[in-house]
Amino acid sequence: MQHDSGKILGGLIATVLALNLFVAGLLGYAMLEAKSRKEREVRTTVENLALLLDQSVSSSVREIDLMLRGVQLRLERELREKGRLQRDNFDSAIVLHRDGLSQTAQVRVSDSAGTVVLGDRVTSETRTSYADRPFFLDHRAVDDGETRASKLLHGRIANTWIVVFSRRYNTPEGGFAGIVTAAVPADHFQRLLSGLQLGPHGIALVRDLDMTLVARWPRLDAPAGVIGGRGGSLELSEIVASEVRAQSFYSARTADGVARINAYRRLERLPAFVVVGWGEKDYLAQWREDVGKAMLLWVLFLGVTGLAAWLLYRLVAANDRANERSRILLQNASDGIHITDVDGAVIEASDAFCRMLGRSRSEVVGMQVGSWDACHSEDALRARMSELFASSEVHTFETAHRRKDGSAYPVEVTSFPLEVDGRTVLFNSARDISARKSVEAEVRKLAYFDFLTGLPNRRLLMERLERAQASCARDGTVGALLFIDLDNFKAVNDTVGHQEGDRLLVQVASILARCVRKDDTVARLGGDEFIVMLEALAGEGREAAEQAAAVGNKILAALNQRFQLGSSEHRTSVSIGVSLFGELADEPIDEPLRRADMAMYRAKLGGRNAVCFFDPSMQADVHARADVEAGLWVALEQRQFVLHYQPQVAADGTVLGLEALVRWHHPVRGLVPPDEFIALAEECGLILPLGRWVLEAACAQLAAWADHPQRSRLVISVNVSARQFLHEDFVAGVVAALEHAGADPRRLDLELTESSLVTDIDKVSAKMEALKARGVGFSLDDFGTGYSSLAYLKRLPLDQLKIDRSFVRDILVDPNDAAIARMIIVLAENLGLRVIAEGVETAEQREFLAGNGCSAYQGYLFSAPRPIAALEDFLDARATQALC
Ligand SMILES: Nc1nc2c(ncn2[C@@H]2O[C@H](COP(=O)(O)O[C@H]3[C@@H](O)[C@H](n4cnc5c(=O)[nH]c(N)nc54)O[C@@H]3COP(=O)(O)O)[C@@H](O)[C@H]2O)c(=O)[nH]1
């Protein structure tokens, strides 16, 4: 599943914050609760302490009141009984009534004028007066029988701060006799306060209702702590003014700067109030410590939750990154990745896979394998799926997938089962192998099929032949190979060019294919050689041969027709060699082919355009041919070639020149004519060195005659084969031969055939011009036997046309030949070329030719080709005749 790391981080932070805020809230609430609980406790405590103080003061006041009452009664009795006060009685009365606090109090008695007459530390010298004291005035004015307590006073006798408790005593008549007082020093209250446990910052104080400080604990060395001084906060003044009896309150702004919770209490028996305060620092010390601990715990919690969140985030982020990497890999993989469940439904698919199927991802997810598999039935797919799920291995197989548009393409699928989220799924990676398949097909085509015609090539033929031989052996049938070779195909190539030659081959291939059954094989071995393999012919050899012959003849007839090649028409024929196979067990596979080849060769020798069956004697011919080829190379090496010369004469018998004709002086066979080896020399390439030798020999002969009075004017014609002329070094070779011999180029005539000239007219022309510029002449040999247009004649620097001897032979009996001969003579005349007829054997032929304008002849009528010595004799004899 894909996460957004940013969102997750935000969520985690929010969660941690919320959690921590919640915890902080809880802690805060708990702390506040604890604080307010503590404050309530403190309030209760200080209120109790204030109450306790009040009770304590009340108790003291009661003691003093009792004491004063006792003294009052004593004094009144004294006055009643004795009419006056006696000091001794008074002291004994004081002692009698003193108890507790009253022991610390200074008891004194004033008369009705306010003069202190009796009491502690009262002497005649220290007499003072209460006459101006409010409590005296109050008692004198009102006889209410109450003990009065004064505000804090500065004692005149005690010379200290005191609170005076007083009572009136009356005369026996009930009149005002004076007052009895008990002066309680402020220290008494100080001691009361100091007994309270209020902590280091606690405070207890007693103030008069007019805010005069009576006592304070602890003492404070500041104006606010001076006994008798007025002070107190506004808040406290308001409470006093409100006349409530008791109230707790919090004061932050205090004289000593300590915040406290205070309890205010109006004293029951004194015109004063107490304040008991507990310092915030004290009562909240533990709470603050707890708050600190709670804060620490919270910080720890924050840290732990933060760390946990961070780790979780890292984990999720790492997981996200891993998922992202997987997703990127999945989505960017060039192969079509798809994950399927046990039912073959797609759970997940990569973009590439969707593209391959030509569907959107939403279409693909949920699709069944059967929807796109183009090769298997539902049952087969189900079987395969169970097989794949059952195996733990990786399986790679080829199949085909179908796109949305219905088109199919080959794929290679790699599948393996995978555990995902606790369930087993199938991971599949499909690779489009169309390109590979087409390359394979192309490679197979190149390897097994002929590039030009598309027919099976030799390799495929041999494979099929091997299979056919095996099935013949198995089925007891016989097969046949027809080796088909186009007659004169070389001439086609030479005359109309290779492109047209190729077109002819393609047409021949298609005709051959139409001549046989679908199961038969038509193959091209190369060049103009085709093979037809007929399978499952009759079980008996003779019948099979008849069937093969019938097919051969059908092919002969089909191919014996005119083909339009370029601008000219070409009649073609084929030579067919037939061999049967399947009759002999364990025959090497190429043997039938070899036999068919020999039979074809025999068909060629037999005059072409024929079907010839293999005959064992053919074997000998093949061997002989191989012998000749090997012997030719030896002949060249051992200088077994010689030149014979045949004169070319004018109408008056003058020898114009000579044609150099090569012969092979075979050590065993004697003189071998060129017809038996020139074609072979051309095929095996020997014509190049042989032609060079002929040229060199002819040039040497010209050079040898250069100074001879009659022979130095003779021209020697040398036959040049197409392969020789078309060789790139030809011009250089001719020039080198002339220069090497020191021969006059004007005495050299090169006889070219039409096949030399029609390939690349510009190149041919350039070569001829190059030699022509040096004086070399050119004749067109065998003129009239070619098939091409004559247009090239105009473009080439020719000097002479030679009428082929095949026309001359029947020139007197065959009107066609006569017409051709006449046409050649007229053509030469029109083109400004000389013309010579070859093969002139009779005077009638010469007369006919002469009558039609031909003025040069070559033939047995004048002389057969002769060795040089015989030729020179002939020339000498001619010269002598001429002189006579
Ligand atoms: N490339 C080369 N080709 C060569 C060379 N030498 C010969 N040849 C070619 O061989 C073909 C056969 O030649 P050859 O057997 O020598 O025959 C020539 C003559 O003997 C023959 N001839 C001459 N007069 C007559 C005659 O009155 N009757 C008759 N039946 N035959 C006759 O004709 C051949 C000469 O023909 P051509 O060359 O067309 O002028 C032949 O085609 C030679 O070209 C060589 O060195 N290189």
Spatial separation of the C-alpha atoms in residues 592 and 569, rounded to whole Å: 35
Q: Is the CB of 733 under 6 A from ligand 1?
A: no
| Residues 366 and 499 both lie in one domain | no
Cα gap 301→568, rounded to integer Å: 105
Domain of 428, CATH number, reads 3.30.450.20
Q: What is the DSSP letter of 345?
A: B
Whole-number Å distance, alpha carbon 654 to ligand 1 midpoint, is 21
Residue 344 and residue 324 share a domain: no
- Say if 727 falls within a structural domain: yes
Query: Is the domain of 282 the same as that of 430?
Result: no
In short, whether 292's Cβ falls inside 6 Å of ligand 1 is no
627 part of a folded domain: no
Q: Which atom of ligand 1 is nearest to the CA of 644?
A: 16
What are the C-alpha distances in Å from 436 to residues 156, 319, 445?
131, 38, 14
Domain-embedded: residue 623: no
691 inside domain: yes
d(CA 603, CA 552): 12
Both structure tokens of 648: 């070319």
Q: Are 610 and 494 in contact (CB under 8 A)?
A: no
pLDDT of residue 787: 47
CA nearest ligand 1 atom 18, residue = 661
Asked which of 437, 469, 498 is the last residue of a domain, the reply is 437
- According to DSSP, the β-strands at 856-858 and 777-783 are unpaired
DSSP state of 4: -
444 belongs to a structural domain: no
- Whether ipTM > 0.90 holds is yes
Residues 37 and 56 grouped into a single domain? yes
* Same domain, residue pair 383 and 528: no
- What does DSSP say about strands 479-486 and 529-534: parallel, antiparallel, or unpaired? antiparallel
The DSSP code sequence of 374-388 is SS--HHHHHHHHHHH
Helices 730-741/687-705 angle, 10° precision: 30
Q: Is residue 628 part of a domain?
A: no
Q: Classify 710 as helix, strand or coil.
A: coil
Which structural domain, as residue segments, surrounds residue 431? 335-437
Q: Is the CB of 646 under 6 A from ligand 1?
A: yes
Instruction: Return the ligand 1 atom nearest residue 661 CA.
Output: 6
Pair 303, 214 in one domain: yes
Interval between CA 489 and ligand 1 midpoint (Å): 22
Segment holding 59, helix H or strand E: helix 5-82
Atom of ligand 1 minimally distant from the CA of 659: 40
pLDDT of residue 663: 97
Domain limit, last residue, from 408, 437, 466: 437
CA of 496 to the centre of ligand 1 (A): 25
Q: Ligand 1: which atom is nearest the Cα of residue 841?
A: 27
Q: What is the CATH number of the domain that holds 546?
A: 3.30.70.270
Taking CA atoms only, the protein residue closest to ligand 1 atom 29 is 839
Give the Cα separation of 373 and 88 in Å (integer). 139
| Final residue before a domain boundary, out of 396, 415, 437 | 437
Residue 225 sits in the same domain as residue 181:
yes
530, 513 Cβ separation under 8 angstroms = no
Question: How far is the centre of ligand 1, averaged over its atoms, from the C-alpha of 35 (Å)?
Answer: 140
Pocket probe mutation, ligand 1, options 661, 671, 824, max atoms within 8 Å of Cβ: 661
Report whether residue 781 contacts ligand 1, using a CB cutoff of 6 Å: yes
Centre of ligand 1 to C-alpha 661, Å, is 6
Which residues share a beta bridge with 716? 658, 748
Give the CA-trace dihedral at 94, 95, 100, 103, to 10 degrees.
70
Does residue 647 sit within a domain?
A: yes
Total domain count for the chain? Answer: 4
Burial class of residue 875, CB neighbours in 10 A (0-12, 13-18, 19+): buried
Q: Is the CB of 859 under 6 A from ligand 1?
A: yes
404 and 467 share one domain: no
CA-proximal residue: ligand 1, atom 32 (nearest): 839
Structural domain includes residue 620: no
Which of 649, 719, 753, 812 for mutating ligand 1's site (highest number of atoms within 8 Å of CB)?
A: 719
Question: Is 678 touching ligand 1 by the criterion CB < 6 Å?
Answer: yes
Q: Report CA-CA distances (Å) from 358 to 271, 371, 387, 401.
A: 106, 13, 28, 11
User: Do 155 and 19 sit in the same domain of this protein?
Assistant: yes
Domain harbouring 822, CATH code: 3.20.20.450
Contacts (Cβ under 8 Å, ≥6 apart) of 417: 388, 389, 391, 392, 424, 425, 426, 427
The token pair at 30 is 């708990």
The pLDDT value given to residue 446: 82
Whether 489 and 501 have beta carbons less than 8 Å apart is answered as: yes
Distance 689 CA to ligand 1 centre (A): 19
- Judgement on whether residues 365 and 506 belong to the same structural domain of the protein: no
Task: Using alpha carbons, list the distances in angstroms from residue 620 to 571, 577, 595.
Answer: 32, 16, 12
Separation of CA 673 and ligand 1 centre (Å): 9
Residue type, 101: L
Tokens of 805: 């001897």
Q: Which regions in the chain score pLDDT beneath 50? A: 1, 787-788
Same domain, 358 and 431: yes
- Rg value, the chain, Cα: 74
Look up residue 577 and give its two tokens: 């060699």
Nearest-CA residue for ligand 1 atom 24 is 859
Distance 636 CA to ligand 1 centre (A): 20
Distance 718 CA to ligand 1 centre (A): 11
Residues 339 and 323 in one domain: no
